[in-house]
Structure 1
Amino acid sequence: MLRLAAGLLVAALAAVLLDWYSPSAEQKAPKGRARSFSPQPAPGAEAGNLFWALQISDLHISKFLGPERASDFEKFCMETIPVIQPALTFVTGDLTDSKMKDKLGSDQFEAEWQTYQTILKKSKVMEKTKWIDIKGNHVLPSFFGRKYSAWQKEGSFHYIHSTTFGKYSFICVDATLSPGLKRPYNFFGILNATYIPLDESEKVNLLFQNKMQELSSLAAESHDSNHTIWFGHYPTSAIISASPGIRMAMSSATAYLCGHFHTLGGLMPVLHTRHHHGTLELELGDWMDNRKYRILAFDHDLFSFVDVIFEEWPVVLITNPKPFLYSSSAHEPLQRLLHSTHIRILAFSPSPINLVKVSIDGVHLGDAIQVSGPLYVLKWAPQNYSLGFHQIEVTVQDGSDRSTTQLHTFAMEENLSLKFDLFASWILLTDHYIWVRTVFVLLVALQIVLLIIIRYRRKPTLKYPLGRTMQLSFSLHILSKINLFYYTFLLLNLYTLLGPWFIGEIIDGHIGICFSFGVFVDGHFFEGSTTFLVGIMQVAFFNLPLMAYMCWCLYIRCQGHCFSSHLYHVRLYWVVPIHLIMALLFSWQVYSCYFLLKTYGTIAFFLSPVRTWIVALTVFLFYRAWKLQSSMLRTFILEMKNYQSS
């Protein structure tokens, strides 16, 4: 069964990966949006047909932790924004931290929102750029965002940036839970039905609207724009959406900008990929720990961007030629590269720019000259690079003797192929709520099926030598034939799968019930997502080890040992490590009870069969395993003695 399941998972993963990296898939135009582009206007020496914007994400301004997050953010608004002068600035969620000092509990603190608003007002940043900030998963029902944020609209929306050379659409995807749940069950976003009070004084009268239909309508509104950029807090892999899915809804977009994953704790500093219809998905590292932000530009409708670390100057963005990896013939007029007359570079620094040196394939082409503001250009002949891949390298030096080198691979041919990082693509393109659900059900089903099969099969025949497999089989045989242990673990697994895990304050002032398949609270049901991940950890790191540990204890008992004697048996040198491992896992289970208490309150602590009650059950099973009457083990002891005397 395990081999079959593993084979199916590997086959499915291989099929997905092959589809991700199919060149035809990467350049497939979205249905109903087959666009034709003019080769003109092509990038030249003029400063027109160009604008740039900025993205920042996951500020996590905290009342208790990391005061430098707020002070650095204030410096960013007062010093960095005036240097870059973006037309638009997008803050993609988690403006405040909403976590207690111990990092366990969560709540909305008005002081954090006041700090955020004070910074915006003090820096006058909203007078320097169009500031659009949205919610993240660290949002609870007492949401102060409507009072203190810059963009006070609720839900998804469509913003149009108009220029003399066209319109550019920016569509926000609001997948936050409403009402917002306490952590950790708010990690995934959901796009299903939302509610809007018809009257603030009458919360009972609710208007339901399908979020996916709303997003489809917003996408239709953007069809006459030069480009469409979608943005939100959650990556698409962390959004539960109704068919045909969020990626299909945004298939006409050039890119989707998001945050939320925080570079996976530094393991994945770059999380970029491409959807099947050509839309780029660009997760941005967090401000909280990494101080990252992003500059994105449209230069003659060619999209480019660069991810930057705060206070690293100069900032360099090469807009022409753009990186081949991030090119899409379905959304961009790529033929304009071949018709362009100048290399174009945006260079930003608080100090004057002294030098912009350009090389291609290691050959120095010259120094770019300033045209207007941060735009620097250098005449080139793109026909010289019409075949294969080439690498452009730009070094910028400012008046403070700071220098930055930016390089990337470009190409004029559209039939070439470059691939995104395999692991990054898996993280961003896999619907994680599906595989965590599958793995959780398989883990529970494996234990249930294993118990039932061993219960009703013939006893194993002990043969010399008694190998590891035979020991495991015999120990499972012992556990499954003793009613106390058999029915305990059978019911434990069934309950983990179907029963309520705990009852507690999932929202402040509102009692809810948490199951593996979802959460019921305040008259709403939230489909299971993070719950399955928590369930996997519970089963893999406690339920299953506990059953294996009980099998081992009973096996030792059948060898004629009691608890005190087996500790000193010379041949059982692995006794202490086994007890130590189980003690560590038991400590983790006890800590999870404490986490439940701090997160969801006293009621959740006492009404939690899968957390608190299991702690008591473990102590009881341990006691029963070592104090079990010999008469109940007589059959198994005789089998073991017959083997030992043979």
Structure 2
Amino acid sequence: MEKTKWLDIRGNHDAYNIPSLDSVKNYYRKYSAVRRDGHFHYVHNTPFGNYSFICVDATQTPGPKRPYNFFGILNKKQMEELLVLAKESRQSNHTIWFGHFTTSTVISPSPGIRSIMSSAIAYLCGHLHTLGGLMPVLHTRHNQGTLELEVGDWKDNRRYRIFAFDHDLFSFADLSFGKWPVVLITNPKSLLYSCAKHEPLERLLHSTHIRILAFSLSSITSVAVKIDGVNLGQALHLSGPIFILKWNPRNYTNGTHKIEVIVQDSAGRSRSVHHIFSVQENIHLTFDPMASFILLTDYCTVARVLFVLIVLVQLTILITFRYRKHPVLKAPPGFINLTSFSLHVLSKINIFYYSMLLLTLYTVLGPWFFGEIIDGKLGCCFSFGIFVNGHFLQGSITFIIGILQLVFFNIPLMVYLCWSLLQRCFGHNFRSHLHQGKYLKIIPVHLLMLLLYLWQVCSCYFIHVTFGTLAFVFSPLRTWLTLLTPVLVRYVWTLNSTEFGTFMVQLKCHMSS
């Protein structure tokens, strides 16, 4: 703290199970360098200009237990505060925004967080942990020109980033701790991360030296530079970590070129880094489409729309078949006809129709569970949000959990009931159905439903472990549904055959014809 300026920010783990900012469990308030709540603006002053750093604090307050703390949330008041900070930073040479969450996992009111930070050169973030190593590079650019640069976690993977402004041209390197030497080419900068809207890229054409930052535990002994495979010589040490080599950028005015720097230290360690550059301003490179999709997609909006669509489709099917006339079966009936017929049977039998209808509506409107959302603080969880300790946290990952509930249990249960009712219409009960000799077609259906039922049981266990016994007991969508499902399944196989009389006659007539 005496030699270094630290700027730290809360993440979702820092807000995990935190009832309030004043809580003794809020370790960020005690152990952080900044020791302040919410957003802040720090201006770094240099002889050649000022550089602004704006912190975006989107962590939820109060902070619920996982998984309901995965998304960050900004309300209207917080957005107004950030807009003020953005205006304050306009006098600086450059502005860097930083926060824990990627913009794709931040819920913000119109015009949106990306619009507010549009004047910044870059937004630095983490949170996704490079998706467990599946996406080691998660970088993209907003439509407004701001770079979004996610970096892997320090805790498990020891990932960190260094960045520099060289004549107001922004360069950075993502690195693994303990690997030396560390090398960053600041001029010419990488074409992929160049932005004419935010940087004076014309300075590249008029520059006189290639500039490199090189760090190591041992002294640097060699800094070799190549462009397009041609050795330009050894860069000279200027001061500190800075190495320079004279060049003429006008020799590289056509298209793109590759610069490579090989650094060695006195301990025999070496590192080679390279990137593509161009001194022309009308040439661009595109980011990895998958990385852009991950960082630019508004997951909460997508999940909300998908959740509503799935519910509407399921309700439409149920209600349509409820009031539809008897289906016309073709002889012999195919898969589509039998599916339609089974939905018709389910919708016409009250207990199954109302069970599925109420389950779907309850998933949307009813409380999923009531318990300790935060230790010692009771609350209710709905699809559209969470009420806890006098606060309302709008729906975010709740919609994703709702989609999983619909896709992996509610809808499969409805399909299984339709299939079972169809077997009953063929005149089978549970035992005769198992002894009809078609094990390869029958057993997998039961096993699949059993696996999905076990998934539902595991979700009850998760609620008990995470939110306590009260939440386990008062959980209609998990515990109660888990207990009622076997009753519903048993009923479908033991229902008096007279209930199927009309349907059995109709089906047999069409099968015989």
1:275-286 matched pairs, under 5 angstroms:
275-286=142-153
Q: Is the CA contact (8 Å cut-off) linking 1:394 and 1:406 kept in structure 2?
A: yes
1:534-613 matched pairs, under 5 angstroms:
534-613=401-480
The count of corresponding residues between Structure 1 and Structure 2 is 505
Q: Is the CA contact (8 Å cut-off) linking 1:596 and 1:604 kept in structure 2?
A: yes
Q: Is the CA contact (8 Å cut-off) linking 1:166 and 1:225 kept in structure 2?
A: yes
- TM-score normalised by structure 2 residue count: 0.96
In 2, the alpha carbon distance for the partners of 1:643 and 1:272 equals 60
Q: Within the alignment, does 1:404 sit opposite 2:271 as a pair?
A: yes
Q: Is the CA contact (8 Å cut-off) linking 2:332 and 2:511 kept in structure 1?
A: no
Q: Is the CA contact (8 Å cut-off) linking 1:497 and 1:516 kept in structure 2?
A: yes
Letter in structure 1 aligned against 2:304: R
In 2, the alpha carbon distance for the partners of 1:459 and 1:609 equals 34
| 1:593 counterpart SS class | helix
| 2:6 counterpart SS class | strand
Offset at 1:400?
2.2
1:59 corresponds in structure 2 to: none
Q: Is the CA contact (8 Å cut-off) linking 1:347 and 1:396 kept in structure 2?
A: yes
Q: Is the CA contact (8 Å cut-off) linking 1:566 and 1:572 kept in structure 2?
A: no
**1:585-630, CA deviations, whole angstroms, 9 ceiling, x for partnerless residues?**
1111001011111111111111111111110121111110111110
1:132 corresponds in structure 2 to: 7
In 2, the alpha carbon distance for the partners of 1:378 and 1:190 equals 47
Offset at 1:148?
2.0
Q: Is the CA contact (8 Å cut-off) linking 2:383 and 2:402 kept in structure 1?
A: yes
In 2, the alpha carbon distance for the partners of 1:396 and 1:475 equals 71
Q: Find the partner of 2:63 among 180, 192, 205.
A: 180
Q: Within the alignment, does 1:267 sit opposite 2:150 as a pair?
A: no
| 1:127 counterpart SS class | coil
| 2:223 counterpart SS class | strand
Q: Is the CA contact (8 Å cut-off) linking 1:557 and 1:626 kept in structure 2?
A: yes
1:151-166 matched pairs, under 5 angstroms:
151-166=34-49
Offset at 1:481?
0.9
Offset at 1:288?
2.9
In 2, the alpha carbon distance for the partners of 1:288 and 1:562 equals 57
Offset at 1:466?
2.3
1:444 corresponds in structure 2 to: 311
Q: Find the partner of 1:297 among 164, 183, 199.
A: 164
Q: Within the alignment, does 1:217 sit opposite 2:84 as a pair?
A: yes
Q: Is the CA contact (8 Å cut-off) linking 2:139 and 2:148 kept in structure 1?
A: yes
Letter in structure 2 aligned against 1:313: W
In 2, the alpha carbon distance for the partners of 1:156 and 1:362 equals 47
Q: Find the partner of 2:294 among 416, 419, 427.
A: 427
Q: Is the CA contact (8 Å cut-off) linking 1:500 and 1:514 kept in structure 2?
A: yes
**1:35-67, CA deviations, whole angstroms, 9 ceiling, x for partnerless residues?**
xxxxxxxxxxxxxxxxxxxxxxxxxxxxxxxxx
Q: Within the alignment, does 1:494 sit opposite 2:361 as a pair?
A: yes
In 1, the alpha carbon distance for the partners of 2:38 and 2:330 equals 67
Q: Is the CA contact (8 Å cut-off) linking 1:346 and 1:376 kept in structure 2?
A: yes
| 2:285 counterpart SS class | coil
In 2, the alpha carbon distance for the partners of 1:355 and 1:585 equals 61
Q: Find the partner of 1:627 among 467, 491, 494.
A: 494
In 2, the alpha carbon distance for the partners of 1:623 and 1:393 equals 70
Offset at 1:572?
4.9
2:22 corresponds in structure 1 to: none
Offset at 1:457?
1.2
| 1:610 counterpart SS class | helix
Offset at 1:640?
2.1
Bigger shift: 346-355 or 229-238? 346-355
Q: Within the alignment, does 1:354 sit opposite 2:221 as a pair?
A: yes
Q: Within the alignment, does 1:522 sit opposite 2:397 as a pair?
A: no
Letter in structure 2 aligned against 1:503: F
Q: Within the alignment, does 1:614 sit opposite 2:481 as a pair?
A: yes
| 1:260 counterpart SS class | coil
Q: Find the partner of 1:191 among 45, 62, 74.
A: 74
Q: Is the CA contact (8 Å cut-off) linking 1:168 and 1:226 kept in structure 2?
A: yes
Q: Within the alignment, does 1:339 sit opposite 2:206 as a pair?
A: yes
Q: Within the alignment, does 1:390 sit opposite 2:265 as a pair?
A: no
Letter in structure 2 aligned against 1:185: Y
**1:214-245, CA deviations, whole angstroms, 9 ceiling, x for partnerless residues?**
10111111111111000000111111111111
Unaligned runs of 5+ in 2: 20-24
Letter in structure 2 aligned against 1:439: L
Letter in structure 1 aligned against 2:235: A
Offset at 1:162?
0.7
In 1, the alpha carbon distance for the partners of 2:506 and 2:234 equals 87
Letter in structure 1 aligned against 2:9: I
Q: Is the CA contact (8 Å cut-off) linking 1:368 and 1:377 kept in structure 2?
A: yes
Q: Is the CA contact (8 Å cut-off) linking 1:273 and 1:281 kept in structure 2?
A: yes
**1:355-409, CA deviations, whole angstroms, 9 ceiling, x for partnerless residues?**
2111111111111111111111111110011121111111112222222111111
2:123 corresponds in structure 1 to: 256
In 1, the alpha carbon distance for the partners of 2:494 and 2:298 equals 48
| 2:361 counterpart SS class | helix
1:327 corresponds in structure 2 to: 194
**Please, what is the CA RMSD of the aligned residues?**
1.2
Q: Is the CA contact (8 Å cut-off) linking 1:462 and 1:470 kept in structure 2?
A: yes
| 1:426 counterpart SS class | helix
In 2, the alpha carbon distance for the partners of 1:160 and 1:446 equals 53
Q: Is the CA contact (8 Å cut-off) linking 2:332 and 2:510 kept in structure 1?
A: no
| 1:393 counterpart SS class | strand
In 2, the alpha carbon distance for the partners of 1:440 and 1:332 equals 42
In 1, the alpha carbon distance for the partners of 2:450 and 2:165 equals 58
Letter in structure 1 aligned against 2:8: D
Letter in structure 2 aligned against 1:349: S
| 1:543 counterpart SS class | helix
Q: Is the CA contact (8 Å cut-off) linking 1:454 and 1:480 kept in structure 2?
A: yes
Q: Is the CA contact (8 Å cut-off) linking 2:235 and 2:243 kept in structure 1?
A: yes
**1:424-465, CA deviations, whole angstroms, 9 ceiling, x for partnerless residues?**
111111211100000001111111000111111122222223
Letter in structure 2 aligned against 1:249: I
Offset at 1:290?
2.2
Larger relative CO (CA 8 A, sep 6+): 1 or 2?
1
| 1:500 counterpart SS class | coil
| 2:97 counterpart SS class | strand
Letter in structure 2 aligned against 1:517: F
- TM-score normalised by structure 1 residue count: 0.77
Letter in structure 1 aligned against 2:432: S
In 1, the alpha carbon distance for the partners of 2:234 and 2:413 equals 68
Q: Is the CA contact (8 Å cut-off) linking 2:185 and 2:211 kept in structure 1?
A: yes
In 1, the alpha carbon distance for the partners of 2:297 and 2:43 equals 30
| 1:415 counterpart SS class | coil
Offset at 1:128?
3.7
Identity of aligned residues (%): 62
2:375 corresponds in structure 1 to: 508
| 1:168 counterpart SS class | strand
Offset at 1:643?
2.4
Q: Is the CA contact (8 Å cut-off) linking 2:151 and 2:161 kept in structure 1?
A: yes
1:73-92 matched pairs, under 5 angstroms:
none
In 1, the alpha carbon distance for the partners of 2:345 and 2:11 equals 51
